[in-house]
Amino acid sequence: QVRLVESGGGLVQPGGSLRLSCAASRSIFSIYAMGWYRQAPGKGRELVATITTNNSTNYADSVKGRLTLSRENAKNTMYLQMNNLKLEDTAVYYCHAVIDGIVYWGKGTLVTVSS
């Protein structure tokens, strides 16, 4: 099991940047897959990015070139650097981890992109 806690959300203007963090309650060294999903108002949850233990990353087409996912095993933390944010990036961002076939979720952090 693992508890995931997101932080770093907030209000930012279009073109701005934020860095989201996902702190895990246990070592993430052996967690094969972790990542972020997001849910915009009135829409379903969609995949943003994933990262594996060998730091292989996968991004949704809508965020490629603007968002960068990384993990710092020594701090049991995963990061999502978000640059050149757009209005359509407004959403609640959820951290997730897959352990032994079970998906664990954080409670989410709200990112609002608005002028």
Q: For residue 9, what pLDDT is reported? A: 97
Q: For residue 43, what pLDDT is reported? A: 95
Whether the Cβ atoms of residue 99 and residue 1 lie closer than 8 Å to each other: yes
Tens-place pLDDT, residues 44-71: 999 999 999 888 999 999 999 999 999 9
Q: What is the number of other CB atoms lying within 10 angstroms of the CB of residue 92?
A: 18
Q: For residue 50, what pLDDT is reported? A: 96
Q: For residue 53, what pLDDT is reported? A: 87
Q: For residue 32, what pLDDT is reported? A: 87
The stretches in the chain having pLDDT less than 50 are none
Q: For residue 45, what pLDDT is reported? A: 95
| Cα–Cα distance measured from residue 18 to residue 30, given in angstroms and rounded to the nearest whole number | 27
Q: For residue 29, what pLDDT is reported? A: 87
Q: For residue 55, what pLDDT is reported? A: 87
